[in-house]
Amino acid sequence: MSTRTATIGSTVGLHARPAAIFVKAASEVQVPVTIATVDGSPVPANSMIAVMALGAKHGDEVILTADGEGADDALDTLAELLARDLDAEASS
């Protein structure tokens, strides 16, 4: 099992547009991925409702977990995505 810790870079947190971008990316990787706040339970990273329900805000740390072939690459990609300000990028 592989894990990564990422800090939410989007100024609005994992809400609306940034969550949609992240969920789409998580849906496209070849392994199931979960995401959790540091003190919360893991939820499927490919579920928009579950990801938004985390309530992750700008600067919060989240833990990504995956298992299987390609898990490390998938988690690296998703962690890097979360560290960016996705709302600002999508607006440009």
Spatial distance between the Cα atoms of 3 and 6, rounded to a whole number of angstroms: 10
Give Cα separations from 64 to 33, 39, 48, 89 (angstroms): 7, 13, 15, 22
User: Among this protein's residues, is 15 annotated catalytic?
Assistant: yes
List 15, 21, 54, 74, catalytic entry: 15
The residues that are catalytic are 15
